[in-house]
């Protein structure tokens, strides 16, 4: 299975929005927009949840990605992921890693592989 890590360590290849966008599956995007709309109490359209991944430079990213502090920081420093940063585990990532420990584990594995 393909892995596509976001700056924060999420695996985009596991994200249903990324998968549906890559497959150009409008039915899946529509169902996901409805599901996430109910789940997160937001108004979402299929177009708003299309995503080419965190590293996309075409502006096709879901919701918060364009303003994500972790993404903006890493890209501003020329990093592909937070794992490359000497300040890994900083206050920009601490809360996120607490909520999503598997993302931190992926990045820690990258750091170990260096």
Share the mean pLDDT of the chain.
90
Q: Is residue 98 over pLDDT 90?
A: yes
Give bridge partners of residue 13 from the DSSP assignment. none
Q: Is residue 21 over pLDDT 90?
A: yes
Give bridge partners of residue 11 from the DSSP assignment. 5
* 8 Å CB contact between 10 and 103: yes
Each residue's pLDDT tens digit, 41-71: 888 899 988 988 887 777 777 777 778 899 9
Predicted confidence at residue 1, as pLDDT, reads: 62
Predicted confidence at residue 44, as pLDDT, reads: 87
* 8 Å CB contact between 49 and 62: yes
Q: Is residue 22 over pLDDT 80?
A: yes
Q: Say what the pTM is.
A: 0.82
Q: Is residue 34 over pLDDT 80?
A: yes
């Amino acid at each position: 299975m393909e892995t596509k890590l976001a700056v924060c360590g999420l695996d985009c290849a596991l994200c249903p929005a990324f998968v549906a966008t890559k497959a150009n599956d409008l039915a899946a995007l529509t169902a996901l927009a409805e599901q996430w709309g109910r789940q997160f109490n937001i108004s979402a359209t299929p177009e708003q949840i299309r995503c080419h991944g965190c590293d996309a430079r075409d502006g096709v990213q879901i919701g918060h990605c364009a303003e994500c502090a972790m993404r903006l920081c890493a890209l501003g420093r020329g990093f592909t992921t937070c794992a490359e940063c000497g300040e890994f585990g900083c206050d920009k990532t601490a809360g996120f890693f607490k909520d999503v420990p598997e993302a931190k584990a992926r990045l820690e594995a990258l750091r170990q592989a260096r």
